[in-house]
Structure 1
Amino acid sequence: MSGWNFAEVWEAAAEAAPERTALVHDGRSRSWSELDRRADGLARGLLDAGLGHQDVVALALYNGPAYLEAAFAAMKAGLVPVNTNYRYGPDELVHLWTDSGARAVVFHGELVAVVEQTRARVPDVALWVHVDDGTGECPAWATPYADLARPASERTRGPWGVSGDDRIVIYTGGTTGLPKGVVWRQHDLYRISDVAHDPDEPDLDHVRSRVEEKVGPVGLPASPLMHGTGFVFASTLLSRGGTVVTLGERRLDVPGLLRTIAEQHVSALCIVGDAFARPIVDELDAHPGDYDVSGLRAVSSSGMVWSDGVKQRLLAHAPEAVLVDLLNSSEASGMGRSVTSARGAGRTGRFRAGKNTIVIDDENRVIEPGTGGVGRVAVRGILPLGYHNDPVKTAATFPTVDGERVSVPGDWARVEDDGSVTLLGRGSTSINTGGEKVFGEEVEDALRSHPDVVDAVVVGVPDERFGARVAAMVAAVAPVEEADLIAHVRGRLAAYKAPRHVLIRDSVGRGPHGKADHPWVTHEIERWLAAGAAPARA
């Protein structure tokens, strides 16, 4: 073997515990043996369609068994699984599938109309696979998923076999431009996600032994599998011989989520910050005793702020849980973490730096603790190969620092005296006001610390004198005055960081993935200002 390959690891788990449950979706279970054999059948279908070594299989799928089966099948066949955001319109899909070089697309029936609009514009796609979700018949131009995913009686491999050099491409959400595909070697992605502490060199006998000896965890990715966080979380569960539980409802159904945690004895939960955690604790607080979440042992989050108050409310219902707030990105893993439990608490926005994490200045020099310096977070060690089809962006994001290649995904942070880092935000969304740089996340944290504010997004709006001025959209649970919120921020941060405008709404418009839509927030604030809103005076 030339390195760890997810397909071989999952096959070893299936061999060690064939009758254990691998997948649960909407209450229906699938064993490890069924998962393995169905993925073999689908892999054979992909190869029979003429796909070649390391051709791309795009997954336009909601959470459920088909996502993980299709990814497993692609890796068995020596192909490349590529995530696809199921919220994209035709133009975005055409860009992603053209940029990635997709040769097959697996999609849920609900997406037939939008997928059909792309077909003439992506002629290199040789196979369209329709996953029946009860929304309509399989179109004539597609192949039913059920016809391909029939259990196979033997292992499927392409003539080229599988390798640790096989790729997985994770497309970013495109918050700073068009989506970019981050290219990982499977061996490298396996190593950075390996919580079972397998040997550096592949040893499938070792995998079989540990799966036989210990039942793996039961985990629920509440976040979408089509995002890197959800997929890596689910992949890690499978690599440990565990069980991945997914929900039938495609929107965040909090009562259904909490019932499933209790019914399936979920021990690990993956969420996206307050966008998921706040409605979860609101439901738990409103219905004490209705949901048993005491079996939770680990709740992880990445990609959005997870506020201290919400964490404490969750611990009141799941006192044995460890809450892990991860500072990660598709380009870099292990930048930092903040751990909260009943025995101690982290602080929102402050992360304990990972062992390979540094912060560098504009000259790519390392900022040492105790200097109070602000710079870009960088990670050394195991890194992706770069961006697919973009050598310029690859060179910018993966520079050499002190003779070692690092990843600099764009997060800015302040180095504290104790070596921890306080996350300030993405440089691409920072606000330059009168020559001072303001990081939106820092101001958002200050706004959320107000007892009546549940969420906030901070942006810059044009200003003739200062170039830009700070503005915010907040969601509040009680009536609150704009001037009071501005004064609240000024009591915590430098005056120039306080917003000049605060638009108060019921929601700040985050999507189910929890990410802020900065262009939309900016548009809404500018429209509000154009209608006559004046800067508030605190």
Structure 2
Amino acid sequence: MVLRHRVLACIDDIDTPTGVRFGQSEYEQLVQRGNPGYTGELVQDEWDPIALNYTSGTTSAPKGVVYSHRGAYLSTLSQILGWEMGNAPVYLWSLPMFHCNGWTFTWGVAARGGTNVCLCNTTAKDMYHNIAEHAVTHMCCAPVVFNVLLEAKPHERREITSPVEILTGGAPPPASLLPEIERLGFHVTHGYGLTETAGPALVCEWQRKWNKLPQQDQAKLKARQGISLLALSDADVKDLDTMASVPRDGETMGEIVLRGSSIMKGYFKDPEATSNAFRNGWFATGDIGVIHPDGYLEIKDRSKDVIISGGENISSVELESVLYRHPRVLEAAVVAMPHPKWGESPCAFISVKKNYNGDTNDVVKESDIIAYCKKNLPRFMVPKRVEFMAELPKTSTGKIHKFQLRALAQNFVVTENLPGKIITGPIQLSASGQVNTQVQG
């Protein structure tokens, strides 16, 4: 639905500065209560807080992130300039507004005089319908939404008559999905950021010369995290022990660090976590990456997700990208599981695409996945166990919840040639960290 249509605004906050409780109002009624002559409050200090946003908690407990007026303004300006968002865009809210203030587009769409098309659910039918009905020009989403669009049934689809710009981030988009989504009429821009950076801080700025490359090579380039946006002062990959920059060889790994006015003021009421997040004036992202000779950054893994098996570092992102190329894999996530000999070994969690009969897991087997990995990966990177799930657990922003998967994998025992089981129920963690879920097979 578009905001000019009937929308129920449920606002009930007694902690407002005025102490006034809004209650429930129709959207039009709420707007009519406004004062057209209101000029707004002048900001006395541009470093004053403007918003409090919480991290999604994919790798640890959620933390409150405090944005400044200056940071929010510069981030918004960078997004609309870097994405080349023109006048009067029609923006589809396939990304939650509560996540980094919609990657700052709650402000950005207003700054460009745009129309907000709001969704109650990010289903394929709703997205295709609204794109066609309102001539949507822009949308943001996590890569998981690509699968929702690609897996749409024929009756859920609508023809896309003009290109829709998609800004994606939150997780590295599988290179294998990019050509498929663009064939539908979407044009993908890949950004990278965190809640702490007010949304995207890096963007894979496309170069015209890349258009001459084979499509597969283009997809690999587009999956990189790229170079810094305008609001960012600097971005680098460093060895955090020495704070020395890694060579720009596309191979030497270090931690991605950022600095600039768009970085958060700090974590809400958590000075210790704030102090730990910064090193010598740099914000340490926790993401492990490399820098290519052309200066483009590429994530290899989250620092907590690197699997160390027998002294070898295994990138879960690299392993997942191979799994996504399997024709039956819909979603994939790789985490560490205990191994009696190597310390850790990769465990793959997979949901599979439905076949023409609408059934799942009746064709692909664990042995198929492992055999596929053996053909495409070094032996030490091959998963020692594959678990099939009806759907991988996700945060409210669409990121795969590896925290839950790691907890589940800690209960596994490595047994060669053990058939993977289908996990059908939701994963729940008890207070002691034990996993409660339903398993078939």
For the criterion TM > 0.5, the same-fold answer is yes
Q: Give the alignment partner of residue 228 of structure 2, picking from 340, 354, 358.
A: 354
Amino acid at match of 2:246: I
SS across alignment from 2:113? coil
Q: CA deviation at 1:103?
A: 7.0
Q: Does 1:428 find its partner at 2:405?
A: no
Q: CA deviation at 1:492?
A: 3.4
Note the aligned Cα RMSD (angstroms).
3.6
Amino acid at match of 1:180: K
Q: Does 1:280 find its partner at 2:164?
A: no
Q: Does 1:295 find its partner at 2:162?
A: yes
Q: CA deviation at 1:131?
A: 4.0
Report the CA distance shift for 1:350/1:255 in structure 2 as closer, same or farther (over 3 A).
same
Q: CA deviation at 1:524?
A: 4.2
Distance in 2 (CA, whole Å) between partners of 1:237 and 1:148 is 18
Q: Give the alignment partner of residue 204 of structure 2, picking from 326, 333, 337.
A: 337
1:440 corresponds in structure 2 to 316
SS across alignment from 2:177? helix
Give deviations 1:351-398, integer Å, cap 9, x for gaps: 323273211113211112127210111123332222222222222222
Contact 1:349 1:423 in 2 (8 A): no
Contact 2:300 2:315 in 1 (8 A): yes
Distance in 2 (CA, whole Å) between partners of 1:162 and 1:66 is 30
Q: List alignment gaps of at least 5 residues for structure 1.
A: 1-22, 30-63, 71-101, 106-123, 134-143, 199-210
Amino acid at match of 1:520: Q
Distance in 1 (CA, whole Å) between partners of 2:48 and 2:8 is 23
Contact 2:385 2:418 in 1 (8 A): no
Distance in 1 (CA, whole Å) between partners of 2:205 and 2:393 is 26
Q: CA deviation at 1:148?
A: 9.8
Contact 1:349 1:424 in 2 (8 A): no
Amino acid at match of 1:410: G
Show the 5 A alignment for 1:184-223: 184-194=67-77, 195=79, 215-223=87-95
1:246 corresponds in structure 2 to 118
Report the CA distance shift for 1:389/1:253 in structure 2 as closer, same or farther (over 3 A).
same
Distance in 1 (CA, whole Å) between partners of 2:326 and 2:404 is 24
Q: Give the alignment partner of residue 492 of structure 1, picking from 366, 371, 376.
A: 376
Report the CA distance shift for 1:460/1:338 in structure 2 as closer, same or farther (over 3 A).
farther
Q: Does 1:264 find its partner at 2:131?
A: no
Distance in 2 (CA, whole Å) between partners of 1:371 and 1:263 is 44
Contact 2:179 2:219 in 1 (8 A): no
Higher strand share: 2
Report the CA distance shift for 1:434/1:309 in structure 2 as closer, same or farther (over 3 A).
closer
Report the CA distance shift for 1:458/1:103 in structure 2 as closer, same or farther (over 3 A).
farther
Q: Give the alignment partner of residue 535 of structure 1, picking from 416, 426, 429.
A: 416
Contact 1:357 1:380 in 2 (8 A): yes
Amino acid at match of 2:93: P
Contact 1:486 1:499 in 2 (8 A): yes
Q: CA deviation at 1:253?
A: 2.3
Query: Across the two proteins, how many residue pairs are aligned to each other?
Result: 391
Q: List alignment gaps of at least 5 residues for structure 2.
A: 356-362, 420-441
2:63 corresponds in structure 1 to 180
* TM-score (norm: length of structure 2): 0.77
2:271 corresponds in structure 1 to 391
Amino acid at match of 2:117: V
Report the CA distance shift for 1:461/1:132 in structure 2 as closer, same or farther (over 3 A).
farther
Contact 2:190 2:224 in 1 (8 A): no
Report the CA distance shift for 1:460/1:126 in structure 2 as closer, same or farther (over 3 A).
farther
* TM-score (norm: length of structure 1): 0.64
Distance in 2 (CA, whole Å) between partners of 1:316 and 1:490 is 30
Show the 5 A alignment for 1:363-442: 363-370=242-249, 372-382=251-261, 383-400=263-280, 405-442=281-318
Q: CA deviation at 1:261?
A: 1.0
Q: CA deviation at 1:303?
A: 0.6
Contact 1:271 1:302 in 2 (8 A): yes
Larger radius of gyration: 1
Give deviations 1:34-80, integer Å, cap 9, x for gaps: xxxxxxxxxxxxxxxxxxxxxxxxxxxxxx7859xx8xxxxxxxxxx
Q: CA deviation at 1:280?
A: 0.9
Contact 1:455 1:475 in 2 (8 A): yes
SS across alignment from 1:359? strand
Give deviations 1:217-273, integer Å, cap 9, x for gaps: 1111202111116251232111122121102x3x32221211111111110011111
Distance in 2 (CA, whole Å) between partners of 1:337 and 1:132 is 42
Distance in 2 (CA, whole Å) between partners of 1:353 and 1:157 is 35
Report the CA distance shift for 1:131/1:353 in structure 2 as closer, same or farther (over 3 A).
same
Report the CA distance shift for 1:179/1:371 in structure 2 as closer, same or farther (over 3 A).
closer
Q: CA deviation at 1:521?
A: 2.3
Distance in 1 (CA, whole Å) between partners of 2:111 and 2:223 is 30
Amino acid at match of 1:399: R
1:202 corresponds in structure 2 to none
Amino acid at match of 1:535: E
Report the CA distance shift for 1:510/1:280 in structure 2 as closer, same or farther (over 3 A).
same
Contact 1:302 1:327 in 2 (8 A): yes
Q: Give the alignment partner of residue 225 of structure 1, picking from 97, 100, 111.
A: 97
SS across alignment from 1:444? helix
Aligned residues with identical type, % of pairs = 20
SS across alignment from 1:491? helix
